[in-house]
Amino acid sequence: MANVLIDGLKERISNAIKINQSIGIMLPGSNYSDLVQALFEYINSKPEEAWVYVTVTKPYGTLVKQYEYLLEAKNIKFIDCISRAAGILRSDSNCIYLESPSMLEKLGLEIMNIFKEVDEDTEKFLVIDSLSNLIIYNDAEIVTEFFYHIVNRTRAKDIHTISLAIEEEGLEKHLNRLIYLNDKILKVRDSFI
Amino acid sequence: MAKDEFISTGIDKLDKLLEGGTPRGFSVLILGTPGSSVEILCKQLATVGKVLYFTTEETEDEILNTISRFGWDKSNIKIVDIASEYSKAVLSSEEKRISVYKQRSKIKLKELIEIGSSGLPPTQKGAEDFLAVLSNKLKSAKYEKIIINSLDFFLSQYRQEEVIRTVHAAKISNLENKGVLFIIMTRGIHGDIFERKMEGIADCVLELEVLQKGSAFERFLAVKKMKNYAKKIGIARYIIDSDGFVLEMIERIM
Amino acid sequence: MQEEERLIVDNERCKTGIDELDIQLGGGIPTGSTVLMVGSSGSGKTTLCMQFLINGAQQGERGVFFTITEPLFKLTKNMEGFSFYDKKLVESGMVNLIDLRIISERLGLDTEKYTAEDASALLDILRDIADELNVKRLVIDSITALCYRLQTPEMIRDFIFKLGSSLAAMKCTTLLTSEVPPMTFQYSQYGIEEFISDGIMFLGDLERKGDLIRTFQIVKMRGAAHSRTKSAMSISSKSGVELAPLLKSRE
Ligand SMILES: Nc1ncnc2c1ncn2[C@@H]1O[C@H](COP(=O)(O)OP(=O)(O)OP(=O)(O)O)[C@@H](O)[C@H]1O
Ligand SMILES: [Mg+2]
């Protein structure tokens, strides 16, 4: 049952990202783990691509515990914005730890620095997990400005982006403004299940 | 029994004022003012018991000469002559200064660059660390009396916090050694707060004062603080004659 | 024709090698300038200066780093944490690291206190070393520590002006670091360093949601049309100092 759901999500992501530069995925919190699983499985099936995964939701340590294959994956690098601020100190070759999710300029620099080292012809993808959590740690205005920069810079370098927005009461107004900066929006609904 | 508990100051009437001498393990702060002849008091204190004497103003020779002049015993004094060491250090650094350009012309530039890039830590310090000398000597001390004359010198060379730290350490090791520590300091030049702190650290505070009465000067020695011996607080007029300090009129305040 | 014009412009600018900074400067620091690098402790002055020297050396410009605050072993140990720090450039003499304290010690100067004569002797040596090594880039880290060893405000004034004229006579591009207390808006400890410098760069902090964000701003740069906007600054082992546009929230 769950597999059907995951496969469905994978297919939707795959189709959308093929034809669009940037996609935004709106989803209710209850679907978050399914979507992340689908994303990671999808990424894992594309070893020839280069992915950068920004996590503001779960610490890198938690993610790799849950999806062990990520530890070996050569096609994905993480930027963890929350572990340091939460006092978790670890160092991993696959992950850059940011001091705090409010250091948005630094986040932007780190993202672009990772892509700088990737071959010109390799297809490049960025995941931001998630815009809603960035808004929790920052003022909505500044996240909008940050996201605007990111969308422009990645577009200029031909990097695809996937941004997650977890629906949350009180945040809709800001999230809607952000998410519509993307070329395509996917809405994940409970009713699909 | 009483003999064990107290150490004589070396001045009869002062012992009486203190009702037996200075309790063992006590740290005594002596606050002097110019003209109070505190330096004579220091030497007189040094004539009884096994004594370690730090001098920062007078040289060892000057001290021993004065003691001889008064006919006191000097066989049990060990003097740490910081005054001489300091003036030597000042002189030699003055000498070095004069020759900067001379020195410069002696060393080839290439050599200088090499030295500067070698990254060896500085070979010698500009001057000796006298505060370190003080605290090291204090630690190893097995003396009945330790006299520091005066703290003013250290306060002119080091930060107050550093000096306080050293004094604290000295107080503790003195307590363990069951000796008496005398620290001399000039009143009114180091700031009220610092004086309060020092008075707080000391177990006993003696203050020398010079008052003008008409055309004459009268000198007083006051026991300002006596930890655990409240009744000993008192004041005495003193003069200095060929025997040194002579306390005349003793007045007990409590 | 156009090619030639560009070459001339390039020749007049000393590229810091920090991309975003060179863009802000319109190509680089005007060659021969003296620039004051102002910031509180830990703001990244030393790192930025070293990056400037290393990048220069990679382009064939020899440089010298005079350190006063940190002993050499500490300086190199800190710098080895950065991937831009290429030890070979130091070993080959393209970047020279010199401990001014050791030199003054060797000359018999009291390392904690300088007289006016000591200070000018030291200045002469600084100049002679820069000449001898034929450097294009020079760093003094820090000018505050040098002045700290002078006893009176007059001596400091005098020294700074002498330093200024010595540096002006040299052909190299110079960075002087200046320490100021955190969260202040002054550019120098003694209030006069800025007058001898052609440029001032300010490394500051900005509080956002309880975190301190590093900032960078070119306050002045004679002879260059430069940006005056505040940037965000990052320091990382991998890239050293980097600049990015500062996001401005409407607070
Ligand atoms: N390897 C590194 N990776 C990331 N950041 C580093 C690294 N090494 C040092 N830093 C950061 O850089 C700062 C030090 O920068 P630097 O020594 O250049 O500052 P400074 O302005 O010269 O300070 P000071 O006035 O103390 O000399 C440190 O506060 C530290 O946060
Ligand atoms: Mg520094």
- The pLDDT score that the predictor gives to residue A170 is 77
Strand boundaries in B109-227, DSSP class E: 145-149, 180-186, 204-213, 216-226
* Number of structural domains in chain A: 1
Selected residues 210-249 of chain C with any CB under 8 Å from a CB in chain A: 210-211, 213, 232, 234, 236, 238-239, 242, 244-249
- Asked, as a colleague might, if the bond just before C165 is cis with ω within 30 of 0, I would say no
Percent of chain B with pLDDT over 90: 38
Residue A193 lies in a domain: no
Interface of A with C (CB under 8 A): 99-100, 102-106, 108-110, 113, 137-139, 141-142, 145-146, 149
Instruction: Tell me whether residue C40 is exposed, middle or buried, using C-beta atoms within 10 angstroms of its C-beta: 0 to 12, 13 to 18, 19 or more.
Output: middle
**What is the pLDDT confidence band of residue A42, given thresholds at 50, 70 and 90?**
very high
Instruction: Tell me whether residue A59 is exposed, middle or buried, using C-beta atoms within 10 angstroms of its C-beta: 0 to 12, 13 to 18, 19 or more.
Output: buried
Rg, chain A, Cα only: 15
Q: Rounded to an integer, what distance in angstroms lies between the CA atom of residue A152 and that of residue A150? A: 5
Residue A70 lies in a domain: yes
Residue whose tokens read 């594309």: A46
Residue A161 lies in a domain: yes
Residue C165 is part of a domain; what is its CATH number?
3.40.50.300
Ligand nearest to the CA of C37: 1
Helix/strand/coil percent split, chain B, to 5? 45, 30, 30
Give B136-155 pLDDT, tens digit per residue.
Answer: 888 766 889 999 999 998 98
Q: Across residues A38-49, what is the average pLDDT?
A: 94
Q: What is the mean pLDDT of chain A?
A: 90
**What is the pLDDT confidence band of residue A86, given thresholds at 50, 70 and 90?**
confident
Candidates C43, C85, C179: which one to mutate for ligand 1, based on the most atoms within 8 Å of Cβ? C43
Task: Kindly determine whether residue B104 and residue C124, on different chains, have CB atoms separated by under 8 Å.
Answer: yes
Residue C179 lies in a domain: yes
Q: Rounded to an integer, what distance in angstroms lies between the CA atom of residue A115 and that of residue A117? A: 5
Tokens at residue C39, please?
């910031």
Print the domain residue range for C19: 13-245
Output the pTM of the full model.
Answer: 0.64
Task: Kindly determine whether residue C98 and residue B113, on different chains, have CB atoms separated by under 8 Å.
Answer: yes
pLDDT at A4 over 60: yes
When CB atoms are compared, the residue of C71, C106, C128 closest to B109 is C128
Give A109-166 pLDDT, tens digit per residue.
Answer: 999 999 999 999 999 999 999 999 999 889 888 999 999 999 999 999 999 999 999 9
Q: What is the ipTM of this complex?
A: 0.75
Give B109-127 pLDDT, tens digit per residue.
Answer: 888 888 888 866 554 445 5
Instruction: Tell me whether residue A117 is exposed, middle or buried, using C-beta atoms within 10 angstroms of its C-beta: 0 to 12, 13 to 18, 19 or more.
Output: exposed
- The pLDDT score that the predictor gives to residue C5 is 44
Ligand 1 site residues (CB inside 6 A) read C 39, 41-47, 69, 81-82, 179, 235-237
Q: Which residue has the higher pLDDT, B100 or A130?
A: A130
Phi, psi (rounded to 5 degrees) for B64: -65, -35
Q: Across residues A61-86, what is the average pLDDT?
A: 93
Is residue B25 within 8 A of residue B178, CB to CB? The reply is yes
Residue A28 is part of a domain; what is its CATH number?
3.40.50.300
> Considering only CA atoms, which of C68, C49, C66, C67 is closest in space to residue C128?
C66
Strand partners, B3: none
Residue B22 is part of a domain; what is its CATH number?
3.40.50.300
Using the mean position of ligand 2's atoms as its centre, give its distance from the Cα of residue A2 in Å: 57
Give B35-89 pLDDT, tens digit per residue.
Answer: 899 999 999 999 998 999 999 999 999 999 999 999 999 899 999 999 888 888 7
Phi, psi (rounded to 5 degrees) for A118: -90, 145
* Number of structural domains in chain C: 1
Print the domain residue range for A28: 2-187
Lowest mean pLDDT among B183-187, B215-219, C175-179: B215-219
**Which ligand 1 atom lies nearest to the CA of residue C78?**
8
Residues of chain C with pLDDT under 70: 1-11, 110-111, 183-185, 189-190, 249-251
Print the domain residue range for B66: 3-252
Give C85-143 pLDDT, tens digit per residue.
Answer: 999 999 999 999 999 888 887 777 766 778 877 888 888 888 889 989 999 999 999 88
Contact list in B for residue C133 (CB cut-off 8 A) is: 113
